Chains A and B, each alone.
Chain A
C-alpha cells in the first residue's frame, strides 16, 4: 500500500551509508532471498534492513522468560516488543514477523511464521508495546536455529522501516514432561511383561516339579447308557438329576402320549 519512492535510501538523512546495498540482506522482509542488487530502485522488496534512528525497540521474552536462547519445542513462545518514539512525528507499527532460518546462512528460510498486523499509532515521546507468540514445531527439538524477528513500521512521511529486533541463533529444547501418554503405557507394558514372566516361570517350575504324566484323578463313570454316550464332562449334580428322572425325547413323548390317549 505504501509506494516506495525511488530514492528511498535517502530517507532521514542520517546513517545513509548503512542503507546501501552492499550488505547481504539477512534481515529482510518476508520471502526475499535475493541478494542485494545494485540500485535500490525496487519497491517493497529491498527495504532498508535497519530501523529509523528516532525509534527505539527492545524485546523481552515472557514465555519462557529469559534471553530467548532456548525455546521449548511444541510449546508457546511469547515475547513483547517495546517501541519508543524518540522523534517528533507519529510512527505507525505495521507488523511483526518471525522466522526460523538456517543457522549457517540466515538468508535461508526454514519456517516463516504468520505476521501479525498491528497498525498501532505511536505519538512522539510515547511508547507502545506489542505482543507476539508462536509455537516452535516439535520436530525441531534438539536443533539450533536462527530466529529472526522483524518489526515493520512506517513514519508519517510514509517511509517504511523494517527493524530486526532479534536476530540470533537459538536452540530448541524439548521440555521433559514427566508422565505423558507414552510413558504411562510404557509402564503398563513393562508391568504386563513382568507378570507374564512370573506366570511363565511359575508354570514352568511347577510342571518341572511334578512327576510327568500325573494328572488329577479322573472320575470314571463308565458307560451309563447303552448308546455309549460319554457323560463324564457333566457336573455331578446334573448327573444325579439325570439318573433320577427318566429322560425322553420329544418324539418318544409324543408317541407315548398318543398311545396313552388312544
Chain B
C-alpha cells in the first residue's frame, strides 16, 4: 500500500533529479577565464620600458574559444609601444590551461597613472553563440618617476667620477712629491755608498 503511494512520488523525484543533473551538467561544460594583468617593473620611469604581463587561466570544464584580449588603457599620446601588441587573440584555451601575453610600453610623461583593466571576450564553449565579456585584474595606480630623478639615483655617473678624479689629482700629487723628494735623499742607490747629510 505504502509502496503504491510512494511510486508516483518516487517517479517525480527521479525526474527532478534527472533534470537537475542535466542542468548541472550543462552548466558545468563552460569555460571560465580568470585574467590577471600585472606590471612587472619595480620602478616605473618615464621613457624607460614598462613590462606588462597578462595571464589568462581557464578554470572551467570546456575550452574557451576565440579569446580576445584588448587593452585600451595605454593611449597613444601617453605611451609608446616598445614590444608586443595591445590586442591579441587566442583561438582556444583548453580547460585547466593558461596562456600569458606580455606587452612592453614606454611612458611619455611622468606622474601618477591609473593602470586599468583590460577586456577579455571569449566564447564559453564550442557551440555557444554568446560572447562572454570579462575584465582582467587592475594593477591600480602607479607613479611614473621623471627620468631625471631616476637617473640621479641609478646611473653610473661616469662623467661625475672622472671630474672627481681630475680634481683629486693635485690633492694627492702634492703630498706625494714632497715625500718622494725627501725620501730620495736618504735612499742608498747602488752607485754611491752614502749620500752626505
Say yes or no: A118 contacts B59, CB within 8 Å.
Answer: no
User: Which residues of chain A have C-beta atoms less than 8 A from B136's C-beta?
Assistant: 129
Residue pairs across A and B with CB atoms within 8 Å: the count is 52
Say yes or no: B133 contacts A129, CB within 8 Å.
Answer: no
Closest to B133 in A: A126
State whether the Cβ of B55 lies closer than 8 Å to any Cβ in chain A: yes
Say yes or no: A127 contacts B36, CB within 8 Å.
Answer: no
State whether the Cβ of A223 lies closer than 8 Å to any Cβ in chain B: no
With A58-B32, A80-B34 in contact, do A129 and B135 touch (Cβ < 8 Å)?
A: yes
Measured CA separation A84–B33 after assembly (Å): 10
Closest to B122 in A: A127
Whole-angstrom distance between the Cβ of A102 and the nearest chain B Cβ: 30
State whether the Cβ of A82 lies closer than 8 Å to any Cβ in chain B: yes
B 113-145 contacts with A by CB, 8 A: 117, 132-138
In terms of DSSP, what is the predominant structure of the interface of chain B?
A: strand
State whether the Cβ of B105 lies closer than 8 Å to any Cβ in chain A: no
State whether the Cβ of A4 lies closer than 8 Å to any Cβ in chain B: no
User: Which residues of chain B have C-beta atoms less than 8 A from A62's C-beta?
Assistant: 36, 55, 57
User: Which residues of chain A have C-beta atoms less than 8 A from B69's C-beta?
Assistant: none
User: Which residues of chain B have C-beta atoms less than 8 A from A127's C-beta?
Assistant: 32-33, 132-135
A 36-66 contacts with B by CB, 8 A: 58, 60, 62
State whether the Cβ of A199 lies closer than 8 Å to any Cβ in chain B: no
User: Which residues of chain A have C-beta atoms less than 8 A from B132's C-beta?
Assistant: 125-127
Please pick, from B34, B38, B117, B134, the residue contacting A60 in the complex, using a CB distance under 8 A. Answer: B34
Measured CA separation A130–B34 after assembly (Å): 9
With A62-B57, A128-B117 in contact, do A82 and B34 touch (Cβ < 8 Å)?
A: yes
User: Which residues of chain B have C-beta atoms less than 8 A from A203's C-beta?
Assistant: none
Closest to A123 in B: B133
State whether the Cβ of A120 lies closer than 8 Å to any Cβ in chain B: yes
State whether the Cβ of A131 lies closer than 8 Å to any Cβ in chain B: yes
For A73-84 the 0/1 string (1 means CB < 8 A from B) is 000000011101
Residues in chain B within 8 A of chain A (CB atoms): 32-36, 38, 55, 57, 59, 117, 132-138
Residues in chain A within 8 A of chain B (CB atoms): 58, 60, 62, 80-82, 84, 118, 120, 122, 125-131
